[in-house]
Copies of this chain bind each other. A is one copy, B any other.
Amino acid sequence: MSAGTEWLVDAEGCSSELIRDSELLRILCEEIIAKLDLRVVGEPTWHRFPTPGGITGLYLLSESHLTFHTFPETGVATFNLYCCRPRPPYAWEERLRDLLGASKVVVRTVDRGTEIVHRDLPETSERTSSDSVTSEITSMREVSGL
């Protein structure tokens, strides 16, 4: 049963200053929301952690959720965008480079729901016949690079 698509976006090499800048992160989230025509429900929840000052933000969307976490101590910022209806692509690499100074961005796309799609690659594992399975993501295909 399909239950939407989730983008897991991990950026490293970000400027520590930029990823503790809540106003900049707010602009970025609002840009994502506007570009993808997402609808925010209620007020987003934000929290700034003590030094080194990482920030977490959670947006409840009609389409599911947008969350992010920043780690100024390592220059990492991670985003989840979960949409239960199709959305156009967003220029994650370009925008996280431009706005946060990221040197490397990995975008992974996950089909949510239990009907897991093994895309493009031949099967490398056998599905058990059990109704209940625990899966571990073990392989991925990198489909583009800047």
Q: Which residues of A contact B (CB under 8 A)?
A: 1, 3-4, 6, 8, 10-13, 41-43, 45, 47, 49, 56, 58, 60, 62, 64-65, 67, 69, 71, 74-76, 78, 80, 82, 84, 92-93, 97, 102-110, 112-114, 116, 118-121, 123-146
Contact = CB atoms under 8 A, between A and B. Distances in A.
Contacts of A80: 6, 80, 82
Contact of A12 (B1, B10, B62): B1
Given A56-B65, A106-B114, A138-B140, 20 more contacts: A3-B69, A6-B80, A10-B112, A45-B60, A58-B58, A67-B82, A92-B134, A97-B132, A102-B132, A105-B114, A118-B138, A119-B137, A119-B138, A120-B136, A121-B124, A121-B139, A125-B142, A133-B145, A134-B143, A136-B142
